[in-house]
Chains A and B, each alone.
Chain A
Amino acid sequence: MRNMTILVVDDDPVIRRMLEKRLEKAGYEVLIAEDGYQARKILPQQHIDVVLTDLMMPGSIGGIEVLDIAKNISQNIEVILITAHSSIDTAVEAMKKGAADYLEKPINFDELFLRLEKIANVQSIMRNAQDLSQAMDTTESAAALTIQNLEIRTAELQSRIESIEAILRDEQNPPYERIYKVLDLLTDPQ
């Protein structure tokens, strides 16, 4: 399994530092943004699997806005919000907008790692499924092309057989003439 890259967005330097240390120790690639504005700059420039963002941050880009920005870049980026107990309503609102989860402060790291593992699992299953469906699409479109050609060719040959039968059964003409006509038809390239 590939290491996930996590973008940590928090204006509190102590929490930032702690998250960075713990996540790196657990084997994740970690990127840091000091606020929503930095997050907005980093998100389009890097491949990010998960955004871990504080809900309340100074300025007009809070956690909800970071969520919007991330989801706009790719639906595959999962966003986990970190909230104070008092702002649970906003967190629930964020879930409706596509957030993967929210964690209450103070952060319980066991809980955080469980959620990250769950996201990693889903993403790896998704990638597998995408690979499979890609492979299936390729096989299917190749098969479709072959089948289409055969289908049209069979219909042409069928109609030729019908014309040949009509000529051969046509008693108005002497037999040798019917044969010439059939041979003409058969040499006609189509």
Chain B
Amino acid sequence: MLKISPDELKLVAQYIHDISGIYLDQSKSYLFETRLGSIATEHGCNTYKELYQKAKTEPSKTIERKIIDAISTNETLFFRDKGPFELLQHKLLPELIDARTPGSPALKTNIKIWSAASSTGQELYSIAIIIKELIPNISKYNIKLLGTDISDGAVAQASRGKYNKFEMERGLPGDKLQRYFTMFGDSWTIKDEIRAMVQFRKLNLMLPFAGLGKFDIIFCRNVAIYFTLPDRQKLFNKIADSLADDGYLIIGSTESLTGICPRFIPKRHLRSIFYQKK
């Protein structure tokens, strides 16, 4: 495995921060080596400095994309932490439906939900399954479910909606597995009825959220933990701008907004916490 020098460590860590916001601990040089070593060799680079220069100047951004795929932690599972999905089902969606249902039955109810670091899609598909089960007359609704992630690889897998059995076993109750997935060999694919409800695309949360509009519910879970404090502050400020005034924000179960964004106040419902704008 190609060894990384202290100078290169600094250079590469700074570069990764610039392109993704992800802050990597420079004392963990093995982390850089195990994740980037093979990309370096694959592109004929003898040093990490060479890799850095190539990645930076290459117009197609192929290496940059590979680096992002390699350093991002895509760890996720269906119905992760359970609580937020119960919250969605029993409180947030019913309240939102009440608030958004127009007076005239001819009009549709608009609801927009965003999974801001959707990784391989399990979070957004879990949301879609909850909605499918909660709302029987779904044609009366105009529901937009958007998942975004910086990793091309993650976005591609999310779009395919295809999971191996290890990914399936984690978090997914057997009845939902049978109902919403089709098995093929060792892998499972989400059925079209759920697939058609969602949309995935690439987005770097460090950049402006141009053209996304306002959302009624935002899931921004387990991504800000990879960012520095100033980057977290900027991120949640932009998220506040993208959330409807009466909208809801859900963050990871071990995350906190204390000292990060005073525009949000935490509220408790049973065993979960959600945030609303002041």
Q: 8 Å CB contacts to B: which residues of A69-122? A: 75, 95-98
Do residues B273 and A140 form an inter-chain contact, with CB atoms below 8 A?
no
Given contact pairs A97-B185, A126-B166, A155 touches B256 in the complex (Cβ within 8 A): no
Within 8 Å by CB of B185, from A95, A133, A144, lies A95
Q: Chain B residues near A96: list those with CB within 8 A.
A: 184-185
Do residues B170 and A155 form an inter-chain contact, with CB atoms below 8 A?
no
Tally of chain A residues near chain B (CB < 8 A): 19
Interface membership of A46, Cβ < 8 A = no
Do residues A152 and B183 form an inter-chain contact, with CB atoms below 8 A?
no
Given contact pairs A97-B185, A98-B185, A126-B166, A151 touches B254 in the complex (Cβ within 8 A): no
Do residues A133 and B170 form an inter-chain contact, with CB atoms below 8 A?
yes
Residues of B within 8 A of A (CB): 81, 165-166, 168-170, 183-186, 253-258, 265-266, 268, 272-273
A contact face: mostly helix, strand, loop, or mixed: helix
Do residues B254 and A147 form an inter-chain contact, with CB atoms below 8 A?
yes
Question: A161 → chain B, closest Cβ, in Å?
Answer: 12
Question: B160 → chain A, closest Cβ, in Å?
Answer: 17
Q: Chain B residues near A133: list those with CB within 8 A.
A: 170
Do residues A151 and B186 form an inter-chain contact, with CB atoms below 8 A?
no
A100 nearest CB neighbor, chain B only: B186
A-B contact pairs, 28 of them (CB 8 A): A75-B165, A96-B184, A96-B185, A129-B166, A140-B253, A141-B81, A141-B253, A144-B81, A144-B253, A144-B254, A147-B254, A147-B255, A147-B256, A148-B266, A148-B268, A148-B272, A148-B273, A150-B256, A150-B258, A151-B258, A151-B273, A152-B266, A152-B268, A152-B273, A154-B258, A155-B258, A155-B265, A155-B266
Q: Chain B residues near A140: list those with CB within 8 A.
A: 253-254
The docked-state distance in angstroms from the alpha carbon of A48 to that of B268 is: 45
Do residues B185 and A151 form an inter-chain contact, with CB atoms below 8 A?
no
Residues of A within 8 A of B (CB): 75, 95-98, 126, 129, 133, 140-141, 143-144, 147-148, 150-152, 154-155
Given contacts A126-B166, A152-B266, A154-B258, 7 further A-B contacts (CB under 8 A): A75-B168, A96-B184, A141-B81, A150-B256, A151-B256, A151-B258, A155-B265
Q: Chain A residues near B265: list those with CB within 8 A.
A: 155
The docked-state distance in angstroms from the alpha carbon of A75 to that of B167 is: 12
The docked-state distance in angstroms from the alpha carbon of A58 to that of B274 is: 60
